[in-house]
């Protein structure tokens, strides 16, 4: 057995202080235990190639706002309002339109697979001008375009906003994002996609997470269900199914039979950490090697205070601002933590918490453990 030593450093900077924290990890290589597989249905593991949603986008107007819409400086809003009024028979010069009850917005939605004319979809409305809030607004009829430039849906209806903004005379109060809202079931599909599902041959099942063992388990489960080879795992992300080999004519019935099959899945050991928020998410299958952790902190604080030097009356002196700088250094003793072979991440984090390590300290320690080779998991920093 061979021991290795790794060191990781993290720097915190602020207006008054700079902190440098050092972490030392002593690792002894050893055996790692894998977690037990879980049983998951195929429909929760795969997508069918070609069966997907398509994004839609449109440009529209929200009306009915209470003086919280776009200002006159937002030129495209007044131009759009003038164009709409002209189509309604009212002539309005765009340069003279001063209306704060309207807002220009982008409207987005997703066209579901197998959608037909008349299908209702939810739409999201987002302000693109300087409107303060879309609360209480109504979206005017807006065509929604696909990537090919064709209109596939139209949206209209009252908005629901999960926030508000209120105030005046320098005092304001805002909750969440009042410049984004939704129109539930506010879009209607006007054109369907030219897609014949029953003509797919072969049918490709795309795994949502690349895994060769899972692809093999899926193909084996399908072949057992039909009692002869009909599926082949092409790689770790795709399983092909031959509909003609199943003896069934209806592809929808074939896929309904396949997607409810259950297969054993070995979850990938992974740890996700967020440097921005200090959040750590880990799976239960993550295991550690024997680890000894020494954690200590050294801080240097610099603080500057300014005082005014006032000369005596009728003297030739000048009034000056004199800075006074104070430097303080503090070195706290290192704390130790011993983790046994095969320990879980829960035990590690609990021990680090007892040491007084913060969430960001834990992130630095995890990175040092991964660099030392004692973390049997994928460490992903987002």
What backbone phi and psi angles, to 5 degrees, belong to 244? -70, -25
Q: What is the full per-residue pLDDT of the chain (382 aa) written as tens digits? A: 333 333 333 333 333 333 333 444 433 333 334 457 789 999 999 999 988 899 999 999 999 998 888 887 788 888 888 888 888 888 777 666 667 889 999 999 999 988 999 999 999 999 998 888 899 999 999 999 999 999 999 999 999 988 766 666 566 666 778 899 999 999 999 998 877 888 888 899 999 988 899 999 999 999 999 999 999 999 999 999 999 998 888 899 999 999 999 999 887 788 888 777 777 787 777 777 777 777 665 555 556 677 777 777 777 777 777 777 676 666 566 667 777 777 777 777 777 777 777 777 777 778 888 887 778 788 887 8
Sign of the C-alpha dihedral computed for residues 254, 260, 264 and 266 taken in this order? positive
Rounded Cα–Cα distance for residues 4 and 150 (Å):
61
The closest of 93, 91, 67 to 78, measured between CA atoms, is 93
Query: In the Cβ-directed half-sphere of 256, how many Cα atoms lie within 13 Å?
Result: 7
Rounded Cα–Cα distance for residues 291 and 339 (Å):
5
Q: Where are the domains of the chain?
A: 3-35+270-381, 54-165+178-189, 197-265
The closest of 73, 103, 77 to 178, measured between CA atoms, is 103
Rounded Cα–Cα distance for residues 190 and 218 (Å):
37
């Amino acid at each position: 057995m061979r021991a290795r030593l790794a060191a990781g450093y993290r720097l915190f900077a602020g207006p008054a202080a700079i902190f440098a924290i050092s972490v030392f990890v002593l690792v002894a290589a050893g055996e790692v235990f894998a977690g037990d597989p879980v049983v998951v249905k195929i429909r929760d593991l795969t997508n069918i190639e070609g069966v997907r949603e398509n994004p839609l986008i449109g440009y529209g107007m929200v009306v009915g706002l209470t003086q919280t819409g776009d200002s006159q400086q937002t030129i495209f809003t007044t131009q759009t309002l003038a164009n709409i009024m002209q189509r309604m028979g009212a002539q309005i010069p765009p340069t003279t339109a001063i209306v704060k009850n309207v807002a220009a917005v982008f409207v987005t939605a997703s066209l579901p697979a197998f959608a037909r004319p008349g299908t209702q979809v939810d739409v999201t409305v987002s302000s693109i001008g300087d409107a303060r809030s879309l609360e209480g607004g109504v979206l005017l009829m807006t065509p929604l375009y696909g990537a090919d430039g064709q209109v596939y849906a139209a949206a209209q209806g009252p908005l629901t906003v999960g926030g508000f903004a209120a105030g005046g005379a320098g005092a304001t109060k805002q909750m969440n994002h009042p410049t984004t809202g939704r129109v539930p079931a506010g879009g209607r599909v006007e054109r369907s996609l030219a897609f014949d599902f029953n003509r797919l041959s072969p049918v490709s099942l795309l795994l949502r997470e690349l895994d060769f063992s899972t692809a093999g388990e899926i193909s084996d489960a399908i072949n057992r269900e039909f009692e002869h080879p009909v599926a082949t795992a092409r790689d770790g992300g795709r399983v092909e199914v031959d509909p003609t080999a199943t003896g069934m004519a209806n592809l929808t019935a074939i896929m309904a039979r396949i997607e409810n099959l259950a297969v054993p899945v070995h979850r990938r050991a992974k740890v996700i950490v967020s440097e921005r928020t200090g959040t750590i998410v880990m799976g239960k299958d993550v295991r550690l090697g024997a680890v000894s952790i020494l954690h200590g902190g050294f801080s240097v604080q610099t603080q500057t205070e300014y005082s005014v030097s006032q000369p005596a009356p009728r003297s030739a002196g000048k009034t000056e601002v004199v800075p006074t700088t104070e430097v303080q250094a503090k070195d706290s003793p290192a704390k130790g933590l011993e983790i046994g072979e095969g320990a879980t991440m829960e035990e590690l984090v609990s021990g680090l918490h007892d040491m007084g390590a913060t969430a960001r300290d834990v992130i630095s320690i995890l990175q040092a453990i991964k660099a030392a080779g004692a973390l049997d998991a994928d460490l992903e920093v987002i």
